[in-house]
Amino acid sequence: MAFQAIWVLVGVFVCSTCVKGSSQPQARVYLTFDELRETKTSEYFSLTHHPLDYRILLMDEDQDRIYVGSKDHILSLNINNISQEPLSVFWPASAIKVEECKMAGKDPTHGCGNFVRVIQAFNRTHLYVCGSGAFSPVCTYLNRGRRSEDQVFMIDSKCESGKGRCSFNPNVNTVSVMINEELFSAMYIDFMGTDAAIFRSLTKRNAVRTDQHNSKWLSEPMFVDAHVIPDGTDPNDAKVYFFFKEKLTDNSRSTKQIHSMIARICPNDTGGLRSLVNKWTTFLKARLVCSVTDEDGPETHFDELEDVFLLETDNPRTTLVYGIFTTSSSVFKGSAVCVYHLSDIQTVFNGPFAHKEGPNHQLISYQGRIPYPRPGTCPGGAFTPNMRTTKEFPDDVVTFIRNHPLMYNSIYPIHRRPLIVRTGTDYKYTKIAVDRVNAADGRYHVLFLGTDRGTVQKVVVLPSNSSASGELILEELEVFKNHAPITTMKISSKKQQLYVSSNEGLSQVSLHRCHIYGTACADCCLARDPYCAWDGHACSRFYPTGKRQQEHRSRMGTMNTFKTLMTMLYPLEW
């Protein structure tokens, strides 16, 4: 117990010297691109000197590869060292399509190429890939072999239309998940970019989509991410969650507000029988809030969701959802990290439905009768064991969901406030990944935050009851030389590596570089990096018992040295 208390004291000590009272804290260690290279804990890859938009990443930890989708290319890189020679497939748009695209007045460099936007594992041997195909989306199967030793990476089937699978415009996000060889995509389904949809395709059943041009369902959405998330113990109750923001016209119809949203559907939804034919009959959505209320001032909303990271635990109900938000305010530039309990999200979906009433179309909580099965329930799940498909749903369920897709309550973050806020900074956060670390004094969540200036900040949030800013930027790393904004981030806890992409290229950085904190025991301990501990000789990676023995290091040595240091700093407590 005493041991833990000391850590908190050290935290306060460190914080008061570098963090307190500022929303612009500095990193303890800042490494430029070249300094980072010198630590030998990073690798860099780019195919050419031209920007190729490397934003799609799919990790394959079984085959030790990372797949990259860029303009006209799909790459397979060694997950242990991305600098090594890649396997690659050149997959341009056809010359005719590129010509048509230019004739239609689209941007030749940023529009009229085949920008790969979908890479999903299809089966044991094949990936399913889609690209924007010069405003004429295309998809195909890509053979990556059964094992990485096979060194197979090739398209071995015909291309098919990517309509309903990938946006025409590469600057409009496409997000997707693959479940049992069926593709669920959220994108814009038409050339003009006015028809947004969440679509199930690549299916032996009927294709299903959101109600067309129905702004109650989707209103000029910008899609951010999609995940399959279990709900209870019955696998048939699992749902696909789509994270997005949308533009809403307010009642005066003069201004447009941006709201961040979560929508969800049941993957086995096959649409209604009489109405909502081939449309989702389980589509519900709720607003995701990330805001700060000043004691005497107004609420500052971080309206624009930029990225989502799911930190999964053994128990799905305790999963944490991390979101990066920015402001749409023209007055100041800011970004925030908000964290949500998955159980809180599910509670909102199980709560009251929103209903528009009165001359002002005010949103109120729906008080009428709710049909059975409760709208949004999955067929064949724990609550509808005798309804195998949505076609068996009663008409009133289908009608209800068509008119009431929105939940009345909004989803609020843990403690109703952001975990991290940055205002008045000259950068914004764009992407997030989170790792759970077993440190000498307990478990920590370490946040890796990508910025729009080509850096990654490694942040640890200290347990602190008194202030919301118990956070410490351990490192800020320039992962891109030219400060290109970070577009995608993937983390492998297994490999202890972070993979970061930008328009320019791809970087791989180790989650830790303990030696940079210095050569003395005090430097190491005061750094507060949960990955690191003093091992008697140097600041090095700390492994909890079992693993540490594999590393042939003595944990007791560390603890004793640490205790000695603590005794020096805080004699009374020890």
Ligand X SMILES: *[C@@H]1O[C@H](CO)[C@@H](O)[C@H](O)[C@H]1NC(C)=O
Binding site for ligand X (CB under 6 A): 8, 43, 81, 83-84, 122-126, 141, 235-236, 238, 267-268, 380, 465
Specify the residue, 255 or 465, whose C-beta has the smaller distance to ligand X.
Answer: 465
Q: What is the DSSP string of 19-40?
A: TTT-SSPPPSEEE-HHHHHHTT
Q: What is the smallest separation between the CB atom of 307 and ligand X, expressed in angstroms?
A: 25
Q: Are 108 and 95 in contact (CB under 8 A)?
A: no
Specify the residue, 160 or 344, whose C-beta has the smaller distance to ligand X.
Answer: 160
Q: What is the smallest separation between the CB atom of 84 and ligand X, expressed in angstroms?
A: 5
Specify the residue, 191 or 570, whose C-beta has the smaller distance to ligand X.
Answer: 570
Specify the residue, 122 or 191, whose C-beta has the smaller distance to ligand X.
Answer: 122
Q: What is the smallest separation between the CB atom of 471 and ligand X, expressed in angstroms?
A: 15
Specify the residue, 324 or 479, whose C-beta has the smaller distance to ligand X.
Answer: 479
Q: What is the smallest separation between the CB atom of 414 and ligand X, expressed in angstroms?
A: 14
Terminal C-alpha separation, the chain: 11
Give the bridge partners for 139, in sequence order.
130, 160
Q: What is the DSSP string of 486-529?
A: P-EEEEETTTTEEEEE-SS-EEEEES--GGGG-SSHHHHHHH--
Q: What is the smallest separation between the CB atom of 316 and ligand X, expressed in angstroms?
A: 14
367 contact partners, CB below 8 Å, separation of at least 6: 355
Q: What is the smallest separation between the CB atom of 572 and ligand X, expressed in angstroms?
A: 17
Specify the residue, 81 or 347, whose C-beta has the smaller distance to ligand X.
Answer: 81
Q: Which amino acid is at 541?
A: R
Taking CA atoms, 65 is separated from 62, 121, 491, 492, 568, in Å, by 8, 12, 13, 12, 47
Q: Are 273 and 391 in contact (CB under 8 A)?
A: yes
Specify the residue, 239 or 245, whose C-beta has the smaller distance to ligand X.
Answer: 239
Q: Are 379 and 391 in contact (CB under 8 A)?
A: no
Give CA torsion, residues 164, 165, 166, 172, to 10 deg: 70
434 contact partners, CB below 8 Å, separation of at least 6: 309, 311, 320, 322, 445, 446, 447, 448, 491
In angstroms, the CA 393 to CA 377 distance is 10
Specify the residue, 1 or 331, whose C-beta has the smaller distance to ligand X.
Answer: 1
Q: Are 246 and 219 in contact (CB under 8 A)?
A: yes
> What is the helix (H) or strand (E) element at residue 448, kind and residue range?
strand 442-451
Specify the residue, 11 or 485, whose C-beta has the smaller distance to ligand X.
Answer: 11
Q: What is the smallest separation between the CB atom of 165 and ligand X, expressed in angstroms?
A: 15
Radius of gyration, alpha carbons of the chain: 25
Q: What is the smallest separation between the CB atom of 556 and ligand X, expressed in angstroms?
A: 27
Report the b/e string of 440-453 with b at 16+ CB within 10 A.
bbeebbbbbbbbbb
Q: What is the smallest separation between the CB atom of 8 and ligand X, expressed in angstroms?
A: 5
Specify the residue, 8 or 468, whose C-beta has the smaller distance to ligand X.
Answer: 8
